[in-house]
Amino acid sequence: MKIPATVRFITFAGVIAFMLSACREAAPAFGPNIPFARQNAEEFFYSVGSRFTNIQRPERILHARRQFGHYALTPSGVYNDTTIWLSIGPDSARLFGDEGHFSYDRYIVTTSLSNNSPDALTESREIVRLRKLSDNEYEWFTNVEVALGRIGAKSIADVIAASLAAGEGKSSAAIRANYSSAFPRTATALGRLFTMDTLRTTTDAEGATTFDIAIKLTPSILKESMPHYAAYIDKYISKGKYRITLTDKTGAHWFDAWAANYYMHFKVRSKDGHFAPIEGAVRPMPEALTIHLDMAMKILIFTVGWTEMAGDFDIINTPHERGWSIRFAKEPDWHLPPTVGTLLKSPLRRPFQGQGIPIRVSIRDNPGTQTILNRRGTLVVQESGILRFLNRLSGTAVGDFLGASEREANRFNADAFRALRQDVAALLQ
């Protein structure tokens, strides 16, 4: 079970928005002192960037990725495919896995079912499990772990806090100037696709600052060097409409992001480096929030999507782990073409029943070993006519991405993280 590519793209764009508004003052927060900050930042950006660099996968893994994408909502198409699975569990679950590491100028991925967490810089592990629950019900589970070096989970949070604090009370012109001088290589690498259209800061009577950021996608510029990735963005990302909102039990908004027509908007408020509700009195962010997702995409001639997919969003905040635990247990309002209106929609409710759709993303450190970025999730699907229709559409989008588009997207990401690594290293000299 994969997080939808469009949601991951917007999440990445949110990271880009953070980078574009970050100031030179954020770099020292990578560690308790400059030598440790330099080491942590070097390892972190090197490890993350390496995973996008000239990825080499054998045909068996490439075949498995294609099949997982094409049959995500109709798993019976892959359940008995012996060319994919590496093992069969005691509960008849099918198991697939891989591991990767960086070597010289390429990231090498091989099949593996190791249960051990990565223990060296740039290493990664992934496990995919498919379990048959009944004649037409299947459960996907994925677990991905990536080594990030020896940076503490708290230091990652400190970098975010320092970036927010550095921009508080400053004009948008001052933040732009700070970013341009502090991150020149990053600005060039990201500028092929992302342009800061709006950066508005508003300081209120409580001393908090609201950041309103609008980023424009420019695939017309990107296509000069990465035509396939630019075409994919033109075809799918730019024509979709998306919204992600975090609220608390009072209804107060803590994060707003929305995208449409080549623009992505992000709005947050902070004081002293700590998030604050976008409106109202400044107070600590609660650890239990609600996430709301709206999405609409046009694939072929069909527009599909949903509104008000709401889920529990719990913040993980322990001495050695930071992240989010999300669970979607409420069926959204579906928006489907009239041609499928006569199909029974009850199978669409199945993923939200029982445990719902749990997704967990965190950074976990363990002194003496590698800090691990971990993402895992579970999805139960009930095959039906309506699922087969939606699967054909999603399979089309996946098929258009795998291959040249993905290779160029990986190269873009590798360039961005390499530039960040160089810029931060220069700031910490």
**Is the pLDDT assigned to residue 365 strictly greater than 90?**
yes
Per-residue model confidence as pLDDT tens digits over 149-205: 999 999 989 998 988 898 899 998 998 888 888 889 998 999 999 888 889 999 999
Confidence of residue 132 (pLDDT cuts 50, 70, 90): very high
For the segment 89-117, the average pLDDT, to the nearest whole number, is 94
**Is the pLDDT assigned to residue 313 strictly greater than 90?**
yes
Helix (H, G, I), strand (E, B) or coil at 361: strand
For the segment 60-85, the average pLDDT, to the nearest whole number, is 92
For the segment 329-338, the average pLDDT, to the nearest whole number, is 84
Average pLDDT over the chain reads 89
The pTM score is 0.90
Contact 39, 47 (CB under 8 A): no
pLDDT at 19: 54
Picking from 12-26, 122-136, 139-153, 245-259, which range would have the lowest pLDDT averaged per residue? 12-26
Per-residue model confidence as pLDDT tens digits over 322-333: 999 999 999 998
Per-residue model confidence as pLDDT tens digits over 247-280: 999 999 999 999 888 998 999 999 999 999 999 9
pLDDT at 35: 94
pLDDT at 341: 56
The residue ranking higher by pLDDT, 212 or 386, is 212
pLDDT at 206: 94
**Is the pLDDT assigned to residue 414 strictly greater than 80?**
yes
pLDDT at 23: 67
Confidence of residue 130 (pLDDT cuts 50, 70, 90): very high
* Residue 99, strand partner residues: 110, 125
pLDDT at 338: 73
**Is the pLDDT assigned to residue 340 strictly greater than 90?**
no
pLDDT at 276: 97
One-letter identity of residue 214: A
**Is the pLDDT assigned to residue 40 strictly greater than 90?**
yes
pLDDT at 4: 46
pLDDT at 2: 44
The domain total for the chain is 1
For 148, phi then psi, to 5°, come to -120, 10
pLDDT at 36: 93
For the segment 204-223, the average pLDDT, to the nearest whole number, is 93
pLDDT at 367: 82
**Is the pLDDT assigned to residue 115 strictly greater than 90?**
no
CB neighbour list of residue 372: distance below 8 Å, 6 or more residues apart? 117, 118, 145, 146, 147, 148, 363, 364, 365, 366
- Helices H, strands E: what count in the chain? 11, 18
Picking from 104-113, 179-188, 389-398, which range would have the lowest pLDDT averaged per residue? 389-398
pLDDT at 294: 93
**Is the pLDDT assigned to residue 208 strictly greater than 60?**
yes
User: For residue 300, what are the domain limits?
Assistant: 5-427
pLDDT at 1: 40
**Is the pLDDT assigned to residue 22 strictly greater than 90?**
no
